[in-house]
Amino acid sequence: MNFLRALLIALCCFATSCSSQAETSFEKIVTRVDKYFSGQPCLLTSAEITKDGQQVYAYYALKIIGYNLSYDVKNTYSTASPYSGSINLSCNVVDNTRSGDLSLDISALKVTSEIAPVEPSGFSTTSMALANKDFSSHPKSVTFIVRYSYEGGKWAHIGMVAGGMEESVILDLETFPQNKSFREAVGMEN
């Protein structure tokens, strides 16, 4: 009986030490993400628009002007991945789409009747989008949820969702070379 108690206590201590190690290493990721977002970074993204009857991409920058960060670590009770973690970022962002050189095609009737004035929808190049610092004065709310799994004694990025944005923003964050510092901050490139 004493042997079983000692074994049970040892297992509990081992599980607790693994849990605290996982949580401590996850807090390092959270600190890195917090530091990145506190610098009010600009993220490059795009939207597909119709210009002169053809589908083209309009590029624009999103500037993080404020955010709230929370995170969670859960025990999954799985041997392959004993813990899962997530970072939730509720952000206020401004964009520079209205300073761009591209505009959506709008019917001539709407323009002549002044129902819908022609407004820029972004930039024709990524460099123009990132160079322009004329951001909107009306922030939008965006939410990023970044998910992780603890495997082999380390955390691995397993995915991300963004609410309040075009669907293309996730792909743009994952692929545009200009968003590399974002990927490094959230651990996509580890």
pLDDT in tens, 17-55: 446 788 999 999 999 999 999 999 999 999 888 877 788
Q: Widest CA span of the chain, in angstroms?
A: 90
pLDDT in tens, 114-132: 544 456 789 999 999 999 9
* Whether the predicted pLDDT of 189 surpasses 90: no
User: What single-letter amino acid sits at 96?
Assistant: N
Q: Provide the pLDDT for residue 106.
A: 53
Q: Is 96 exposed, middle or buried (0-12, 13-18, 19+ CB in 10 A)?
A: buried
Judge if pTM exceeds 0.85: no
Give dist(CA 136, CA 85) in Å, integer: 34
